[in-house]
Amino acid sequence: MSTSNGYRLLIVDDYKEVRSLVSRQLQRQGYEVVEANCVTQAKKLLASDVFDLVITDVSLNDGNGIDMMAAIEPMPKTIFMSGYMQPSMTATMELEAGRNFIYKPFKIKTLAQMVGTAVNNDGDQN
């Protein structure tokens, strides 16, 4: 396992398998990863801690990842993921596949590249 690269990530997904797979792979690349399984848990973590990047599913059991992130000021860099997206949702947050949105299923290598770009980009990610 790699040593820490100093970046803290929050992974939000209601499917444990997805959350665990993404977390393990990003930890191997040196990221410190915290997991949340719902909007409620993620909001608590975001209110009490600082993250360099949030990776969240759009559709969660207790809410919507887009609405959750839009309510946070200032909004941290975020990558949204979903197996199904309505066009109106992508327009709301100016989501762009390959930049701040990834369709499920995805290759971990593709997500890891997006994460690397996001954490190393000082400009606005969203």
pLDDT under 50 in the chain at which residues? 1-2, 125
For the segment 75-96, what is each residue's pLDDT rounded down to a tens digit?
A: 899 999 988 765 555 555 566 5
State the pLDDT at residue 84: 75
Q: Which amino acid is at 1?
A: M
Whether the bond into 105 is cis, omega within 30 of 0: yes
- The strand pair at 8-12 and 53-57 is best described as parallel
